[in-house]
Structure 1
Amino acid sequence: MTRVLLSTYGTRGDVEPLVALAVELRSLGADVRMCTPPDEEFTDRLAGLGIEPVPAGPPVRALMSATAPPTAAELARYRAELLETQFDVLPAAAEGCDALVAAGLAQVAARSVAEAAGIRYVYATYAAVNLPSPHHPPPPRPGWPEPSEADNAARWELDAQRVNAQFREPLNARRAALGLPPVAGVRDHVHSDRPWLAADPVLGPAAPGLEVVQTGAWTLPDERPLPAELTAFLEAGPPPVYVGFGSISPAPDIARWSVAVCRARGYRVLVSRGWAELAVDDCFAIGDVNHQRLFGKLAAVVHHGGAGTTQTAARAGVPQVVVPIRLADNPYWAGRVAAHQVGAALDGPTATFESLTAAFDTAVAPETRARAEALGAKIRTDGAKTAARLLLDGLG
C-alpha cells in the first residue's frame, strides 16, 4: 500500500487543506500520516477521520491567543526550535512512506528528511504570493520588518537573505549529519523546482512565468447541519452580515466598528468568536459552524483574508469586506477580492470607521453581489481530488 506523510504547521487555515488532501488520498487507497501542531482540535480532527496524527512543535493556539504579540527575538527562537523538532519527529513519521508533502515555509526540514529517506518530496503553498515573482512583493513575515525597497526583485532577495540568516546554518548542520550536501538558498530549496499551488486558478492564479502545478484549492464538502439556534436566527429576518476573523486577533475596534457599520445600514449581524474570542454586545455569537452552508445565506462576510475564508465566501457568491492585518497571505487575498470587484479591501492597521463604512457600502451594492455570484459559479471544488491523483500517479 502506498503511504504518504503530510506535514504542516500553523493555524486551521494551514491544516484544513492538507486534511482535504489526506481524505482524498485515503479514498484512492493510500495510507496517510499527518504532522500538525499538537493542539487537540487538530489531532482530534485527524483521529476522527481515521488519519494518523503526528504532533510536532508547540501548540499554535496559545501563540496566537497571547495577550501580547511575540517579539522578533521570541519568534526567531520559536522558528529555530520548530526546525529542530521537525528533524526529531519527521524521520520516524516518514518511515515506510513513499512521499512527503509539506505545506508552508515553516516546513524547513521536510525536504532534507525526504532526501535522506529516498522518497518523493512535494512542496505546496496555498497562495501564489508566497512564491518569488517580479509581479508581486513577498508577503509580510511575522517578526521581520517590512522592507523599504520598492522593487519586487530586491524585496525577494532580501527575503531570501533573511530566511538564510535564520535557517541556513542549523539546516546544513543537520543535513551534514544525514550525509546530505549543504544548500545555498534555504527558501528556494524548500520550495523545490516545481512547487504545487493549492489555490483556485480563477480566484488566485499563479503569477506569469511561475513554474508551478496549480491543482485548485484543497477543500472538502462540509455536510454538518447548522445549529438549530443559528437556523432560527437566519429564518427570523433578512440575511445578516457575518463578522469573524478566524485565528487572527483584529486590530483594536475593528470588530466593534464592523458591527456598528452593519447596524447603521440596517443589517443584522452574526459575530464569529474565533480564536480571539470576539464578543460584541447584543450580537448573535457563533463558534465553529459550517461556513459552506452558512455563507450562501448571508448579505456579506467581513473577515481577515484567510485563504480558506476567502475561498469559501467566493464559492458561495457572497460579497466580502476584507480587513487583514499585515501577515502572511492575508493582504494578498484582500487584494484578490478587490481585483475581482466582489467586495472591498482595507488595510487593517490603518482602517477607520469611515473607511470601513465606505468598504461596506461597496460590498453590499447590487452590482457587487452580481459579480460575486458570477465568480462563485466559476470556483472549482475538485482541487484536493486532482492533487491526490497527481501525487499517486507520480509514484507509479
Structure 2
Amino acid sequence: MIPNPCKIEGFFGRWDPEVEYFACASDVDPLSLRDLLELADADTRALWNGLELGYTETTGHPLLREAIADQYPETAATEVTVCAGGAVEALFLLAHTLLGPGDHAVVVWPAFESLHRIAPSLGATITGVELDADNGWRLDIDAVRKALQPNTRALFVNFPHNPTGALPSHAEFAELLAMAGDAGVTVVSDEVYRHLEYDDADTLPAACDLDERAVSVGVMSKAYALAGLRIGWFATRNPAITATARTLKDYTTVCSSAPAEILSLIALRAHDHLIERSRTIIKANLAHAESFFGSHPDTFAWAAPAAGMLAFPRLLLPVPVEDFVTDLVRDQRVLLLPGTVFDTTDNRFRVGLGRSALPQAFERMEEFLTARGH
C-alpha cells in the first residue's frame, strides 16, 4: 500500500510560490557551494578536484562513513549506512525493516510524518504518546511504557523535537532506551536536530551508542544547513537491521550522489564551524521570538524551545489556525505551518528559528496584527 499523502509537503507545495518569508522553516540559512568549498582541507579539496561522476559505494563513501561515525563513540563506521534521500529515506527503510502486518509501533507525539504515516501502509498500527504541553513538553516515560503492546516492534522518537523543541534530560533518555530494550522494542531515534542544543552539556548521547539494538538517524540538512545535498544516514550496532535495510536500499536509491558525498565530508570535517554558525543564527532569532510573542500575550501562548530551531506556540484568537496562516501569507507573504499538518487540534503553529530574515517576518506579522486590532 502507498502511505497517505504527506500533509507537510502538500502544504509547502501549495504556498511556496507566494512566500517571501518562511517563518516556519525547519532548516538554517543554507550555505553556498563557494562557502562550503572554502572549508575544505587539503585532502577533501583533492577529492573534490579529482571527483569522477560514476556510481558510488552503496553504503556510502568510506571516508564519509568514518566522519559520521566520529559522532558515535560506540558505533563503528561499518555500522553506518549513508542514504541518498536524506533522513526520510533512512526512516522509510527502517519502517519497512521493522514493521509488517499485525505489528505495532509507538511514536512520541506530535511527530514528523515519516515517523508515523508509513507504518499503516505496511499493515502495522501506531499509538501516539503526547508530550505534555503544560509541563514544558515533557516526555512521560510511564505513558510510553503503558502504550507498549505484546506486538510492539518499534518506538519512534525525535529529540530535539520537531515541532515543539522538546528535549528530555540525559537520565530520562537513558531510562527510555532501557525501558524499550527490556521490552524487546527497537528504538528508532530521529536525531536530525542533534548538536543544535543551546548548551553542549544538554546534547544527548546517540541512541545507537546507548543501546546496541537502537538506531540513530542523522542528516546534513539541519545542523549543517545543507539540505540540498540530500545526504542522510542511519547508524546501529544491530547487524540484522543493517543487513535488511541495506537490502531494501538496493531497491530505492542504490547509492548517493558522488558530489554530495564529498561535500558532506567537507562539512563534517568542519563540524565545529558549521554548528557554531547555525547556533548563532538560532539563538539570535530566539531572542527576537521571545520579544515578539511576549508582546502579544493575548494573541499567542508562547513557550521557548528547550533545544533546536523549532517552537510550537498556540494561537489564542477565536480563529482556526489554518485561516490565520492563510490570511497571513496572502496579506504579508509570511508563512507559518499550521499544527493541523501534525494532526493536532489545539490551534498551534510551527515557527522556525533558523532563517536570518525571521526578524523581518515578525515585522510583517506585527503589521498584520495591527491592521486587525490585535
TM-score with structure 2 setting the length: 0.31
TM-score with structure 1 setting the length: 0.30
Q: Per chain length, whose mean CA-contact separation is higher, i.e. which structure has more relative contact order (CA < 8 Å, sep 6+)? A: 2
